């Protein structure tokens, strides 16, 4: 199946080739970054916990690179505690609410993670993160500690509460992702690489985080319900099912699809803010850092919309598709073209029998119109490139076979 994917999407194979050529192995990266000791170990943890974020973080301007690496690892540690269902509730809340103090405690580590917690080693060796965090400029430390405090408090709240209303849903997503957007935006401005307005317009920064988080929550419904939790707001799923388990049941598939499409529509509503935020970013490495996750999100929502597989499994975009998005996320015009293309994909999938047909049609039409009116050269039309690449691939293949046979070997 993987080979067939490459054959049917040869431009993704080309993108994968260039990605491999551009990105050195992890050990070579850290040597190139000229880091050693605890900071080198921090970059090792960055590679272990997020291969996708690791690449873009290590390509950031040196004024931001270490600070955002440590910001990511601190929040990953916090998130690892929140996700660990083996930690008793009271103890988990205490850890979450005090984590902003823990990051100043020399030598602190946590060895009580559950056996299935994939990022447990980060908490076991967390003293290296603390050591390097305390070396950051005071202004960076204050921003990171503030976001950690607010996020930990919000996470602790939702260990007791369920996501019931749409207000709960937006608040939860703000705590776990919108605040990340706040912190990053403030760090961008504090570094001097971006205008002060980037760190002040936190509503747009919040939307950046919400679009990513809502995409992940929408996609992960099957995995989450199996693990005994659900972050889809009850205000949505209760209209279509009596329980979370019934929501993903094959016997309730038509109603489950209605709930899925409503979740997708809610995520899509953040697109105007995402485009506006990205239009305010000037430094190239910061732009790529911000833009790449957003392109992954729009591709994922396009994959999830009206797709029954989401209720049965954890669907993901193809690796080649992801690498192609990484390669293309270089400037605002390219990002607009990517969004426009996936909006067209959603439009094609949005049949009149979809429960959310009118809502999604309005969101997609407006977003496409806004993009088309500001895009240099007008709306993109590049689907033919993939088909031309497929034709070229097969012409080359058959030419090779013909010459091979003609040579008499």
The string of DSSP codes covering 34-80 is T--HHHHHHHHHHHHH-HHHHHHHHTS-HHHHHHHHHHHHHHHHHHH
Share of the chain above pLDDT 70, in %: 83
How far is the C-alpha of 65 from the C-alpha of 68, rounded, in Å? Answer: 6
> CB-based contacts of 364: which residues, under 8 Å, 6+ apart?
268, 343, 346, 347, 350
How far is the C-alpha of 346 from the C-alpha of 77, rounded, in Å? Answer: 35
Mean pLDDT (whole number) for 1-15: 44
Mean pLDDT (whole number) for 169-178: 97
- Listed residue (16, 15, 36, 18) closest to 27, CA to CA: 36
Lowest mean pLDDT, pick from 84-93, 121-130, 135-144, 384-393 = 384-393
Q: Choose which CATH entry (3.90.1150.10, 3.40.1160.10, 1.10.600.10, 3.30.530.20) describes domain 21-160.
A: 1.10.600.10
Contact at 8 Å (CB) between 248 and 256?
A: yes
**How does DSSP classify residue 116?**
T
pLDDT class of 400 with cuts at 50, 70, 90: low
What the block records as the tokens of 71 is 């910001």
pLDDT at 234 over 60: yes
pLDDT digits (tens, 9 = 90+) for 245-279: 999 999 999 999 999 999 999 999 999 999 999 99
Q: What is the DSSP string of 200-219?
A: H-HHHHHHHHHHHHHHHHHH
> CB-based contacts of 266: which residues, under 8 Å, 6+ apart?
166, 169, 214, 236
Share of the chain above pLDDT 90, in %: 75
pLDDT at 285 over 60: yes
- Give 91 or 116, the one with higher predicted confidence: 91
What the block records as the tokens of 254 is 């038509």
pLDDT class of 355 with cuts at 50, 70, 90: confident
Contact at 8 Å (CB) between 230 and 237?
A: yes
pLDDT given at position 210: 98
What the block records as the tokens of 352 is 């009149």
74-87 burial, b if ≥16 CB within 10 A, otherwise e?
A: bbbbbbbbbbbeeb
pLDDT given at position 407: 55
- Tell me if residue 276 falls in helix, strand or coil: helix
How far is the C-alpha of 156 from the C-alpha of 178, rounded, in Å? Answer: 16
Cα dihedral value 151, 220, 347, 386, nearest 10: 110
pLDDT digits (tens, 9 = 90+) for 123-149: 999 999 999 999 999 999 999 999 999
pLDDT given at position 20: 43
pLDDT class of 389 with cuts at 50, 70, 90: low
pLDDT class of 37 with cuts at 50, 70, 90: confident
pLDDT given at position 16: 44
pLDDT given at position 315: 94
pLDDT given at position 227: 87
How far is the C-alpha of 52 from the C-alpha of 18, rounded, in Å? Answer: 16
pLDDT given at position 377: 67
Mean pLDDT (whole number) for 354-381: 86
Contact at 8 Å (CB) between 239 and 333?
A: no
Rounded to 5 degrees, φ, ψ at 165 are -90, 170
Instruction: Assign residue 109 a region (left: φ > 0; alpha: ψ between -120 and 50; beta: otherwise).
Output: beta
pLDDT given at position 18: 43
**3-state DSSP helix/strand/coil % of the chain, to nearest 5:** 75, 0, 25
- Tell me the fold of 161-378: Farnesyl Diphosphate Synthase (1.10.600)
pLDDT digits (tens, 9 = 90+) for 52-84: 788 889 999 999 999 999 999 999 999 999 999
- Predicted TM-score (pTM) of the model is 0.85
pLDDT given at position 98: 98
What the block records as the tokens of 130 is 């603390």
pLDDT at 406 over 70: no
How far is the C-alpha of 125 from the C-alpha of 107, rounded, in Å? Answer: 9
pLDDT given at position 393: 52
Contact at 8 Å (CB) between 283 and 196?
A: no
pLDDT at 30 over 50: no
To which residue do tokens 């709240």 refer? 157
pLDDT class of 8 with cuts at 50, 70, 90: very low
Catalytic residues: 172, 219, 229, 289
Q: Where in the chain is the domain with CATH 1.10.600.10?
A: 21-160, 161-378
Mean pLDDT (whole number) for 209-213: 97
**How does DSSP classify residue 176?**
I
- Give 375 or 188, the one with higher predicted confidence: 188
Mean pLDDT (whole number) for 307-314: 95
Contact at 8 Å (CB) between 122 and 181?
A: no
């Amino acid at each position: 199946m993987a080979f067939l994917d490459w054959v049917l999407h040869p431009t993704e194979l080309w993108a994968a080739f260039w990605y491999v050529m551009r990105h050195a192995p992890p050990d070579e990266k850290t040597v190139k970054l000229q880091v050693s000791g605890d900071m080198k170990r921090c970059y090792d943890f960055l590679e272990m916990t997020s291969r996708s974020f690791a690449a873009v973080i290590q390509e950031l301007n040196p004024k931001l690179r270490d600070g955002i690496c440590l910001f990511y690892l601190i929040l990953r540690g916090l998130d690892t505690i929140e996700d660990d269902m083996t930690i008793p509730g009271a103890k988990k809340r205490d850890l979450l609410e005090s984590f902003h103090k823990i990051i100043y405690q020399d030598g602190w580590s946590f060895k009580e993670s559950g056996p299935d917690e994939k990022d447990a080693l980060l908490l076991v060796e967390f003293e290296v993160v603390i050591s390097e965090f305390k070396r950051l400029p005071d202004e960076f430390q204050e921003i990171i500690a503030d976001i950690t405090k607010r996020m930990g408090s919000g996470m602790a709240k939702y260990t007791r509460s369920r996501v019931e209303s749409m207000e709960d849903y937006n608040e939860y997503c703000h705590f776990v992702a919108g605040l990340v957007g706040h912190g990053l935006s403030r760090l961008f401005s504090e570094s001097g690489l971006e205008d002060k307005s980037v760190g002040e317009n936190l509503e747009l920064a919040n939307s950046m985080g919400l679009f990513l988080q809502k995409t992940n929550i929408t996609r992960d419904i099957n995995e989450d319900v199996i693990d005994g939790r659900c972050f889809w707001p009850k205000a949505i799923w209760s209209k279509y099912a009596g329980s979370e388990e019934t929501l993903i049941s094959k016997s309730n598939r038509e109603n489950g699809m209605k709930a899925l499409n409503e979740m997708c529509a809610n995520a899509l509503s953040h697109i105007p803010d995402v485009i506006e935020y990205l239009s305010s970013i000037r430094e190239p490495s910061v732009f790529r850092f911000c833009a790449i996750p957003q392109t992954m999100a729009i591709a994922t929502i396009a994959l999830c919309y009206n797709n029954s597989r989401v209720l049965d499994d954890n669907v993901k975009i193809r690796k080649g598709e992801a690498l192609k998005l990484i390669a293309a996320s270089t400037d605002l015009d390219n990002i607009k073209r990517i969004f426009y293309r996936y909006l067209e994909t959603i439009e094609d999938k949005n049949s009149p029998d979809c429960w959310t047909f009118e809502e999604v049609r309005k969101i997609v039409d407006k977003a496409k119109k806004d993009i088309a009116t500001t895009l240099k050269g007008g709306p993109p039309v590049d689907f033919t490139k993939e088909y031309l690449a497929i034709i070229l691939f097969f012409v080359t293949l058959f030419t090779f076979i013909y010459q091979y046979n003609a040579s008499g070997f």
